[in-house]
Amino acid sequence: MLSKGIGTLATTTTMAARSLSIAHIPRHKLRRVFTPLSFSSSASEARKLVLYSKPGCCLCDGLKEKLHAAFSLSGPDSLHDIVLQVRDITSNPEWEKAYQYEIPVLAKVLSDGTEEILPRLSPRLGPELVQKKIAAAFRQ
């Protein structure tokens, strides 16, 4: 009886090893995302950042480039789990009225769907500092 149990364990271990080798992903391609355990559905939803912009706005274009660079950086302040949505204020009269003199405007979407306007980022900031400031805003 004991030898039958050991044989079953060895077979199970061999099968598990085979299945692991089939699904092997090279270490350099792994992306680690740590999410806290939660029983609400919001834990599986991505964090969202909105950029209010409009065509022909050089400050907006500059910020878009910095955001693109910041999102591609890795490290402790990685933004890979944040979804960026760019909104053209000319497509919505409410957005245009609210932000026409303020663009570019960044807003963090809260869990209840409301938006929190983030402090304006200086055009002189490099991508690394943009990344750190956005990551800090999402930690609050």
Structural domain boundaries in the chain: 47-139
**48 phi and psi angles, rounded to 5 deg:** -125, 140
Map residue 18 onto helix, strand or coil: helix
From 21-25, 44-48, 49-53, the region with the lowest mean pLDDT: 21-25
Q: Is the pLDDT of residue 44 over 90?
A: no
**Which letter does DSSP use for residue 41 in this model?**
G
Retrieve residue 138's tokens. Answer: 């999402």
pLDDT digits (tens, 9 = 90+) for 57-85: 999 999 999 999 999 999 998 998 999 99
For residue 46, the model assigns a pLDDT of 78
Q: Is the pLDDT of residue 124 over 60?
A: yes
Amino acid residing at 101: Y
Q: Is the pLDDT of residue 11 over 80?
A: no
pLDDT digits (tens, 9 = 90+) for 97-122: 999 999 999 999 999 999 999 999 99
Homologous superfamily of the 47-139 domain (CATH): Glutaredoxin (3.40.30.10)
Q: Which residues pair with 84 in a beta bridge?
A: 49
Map residue 50 onto helix, strand or coil: strand
For residue 13, the model assigns a pLDDT of 38
Q: How far apart are CA 73 and CA 114, in angstroms?
A: 27
For residue 45, the model assigns a pLDDT of 63
Q: How far apart are CA 105 and CA 31, in angstroms?
A: 30
Map residue 23 onto helix, strand or coil: coil
- Dihedral sign from CA coordinates of 120, 109, 60, 56: negative
Q: Is the pLDDT of residue 7 over 80?
A: no
